[in-house]
Structure 1
């Protein structure tokens, strides 16, 4: 879990996109409910944006230096898999 404290070293911004009501976004909503506070506590200056939009598939966007962005699709992933995706993007 030490990697969570290092997110702000590599990332400039994290964005979660998901639907407020769809079953496809349920795991993403649960992940954020369980982990947002810890992520923000460990990275107080890192913007963690939550974008809710009806009908959108769950996605995780990471922005790096020079405006470079990478996306991970979260549809069908459980909390541990979403955690792994975030770790991969944080270490990229």
Structure 2
């Protein structure tokens, strides 16, 4: 997972949104609990924001240069799938979608 150390080269801010209690957000909560330290250690200058809101659907938002933002919904995704989506966000900047 060498790409994790390069997140701050393309992504300027990373936001995780999820509900504190809903079952739909359980995998997103677990992912943040298990991976936040590693992501922050490898990208110390990258703002990684955790936003909890009752009833919100789990999502990751990535902000790039020039205010470009991309969102990925995390409903029903496992930790491995969330990791893959995060890698896609890192690689997707500058590509046509």
Q: d(CA) in 2 for partners of 1:75 and 1:48?
A: 20
Residue of structure 1 in register with 2:44 after alignment: 44
What's the RMSD between the two structures over aligned residues?
0.3
Q: d(CA) in 2 for partners of 1:34 and 1:91?
A: 22
Q: Give 1:21 deviation, angstroms.
A: 0.2
Residue of structure 2 in register with 1:88 after alignment: 88
Return structure 1 stretches of 4+ with deviation > 3 angstroms: none
Q: Give 1:78 deviation, angstroms.
A: 0.2
Residue of structure 1 in register with 2:95 after alignment: none
1:1-92 residue pairs with structure 2 within 5 A?
Answer: 1-92=1-92
Q: d(CA) in 1 for partners of 2:76 and 2:68?
A: 26
Name structure 2 gaps, 5 residues minimum. 93-97
TM-score, reference length from structure 1? 0.99
Q: Give 1:66 deviation, angstroms.
A: 0.2
Q: Alignment length, in residue pairs?
A: 92
Name structure 1 gaps, 5 residues minimum. none
TM-score, reference length from structure 2? 0.94
Q: Secondary structure at the match of 1:62?
A: strand
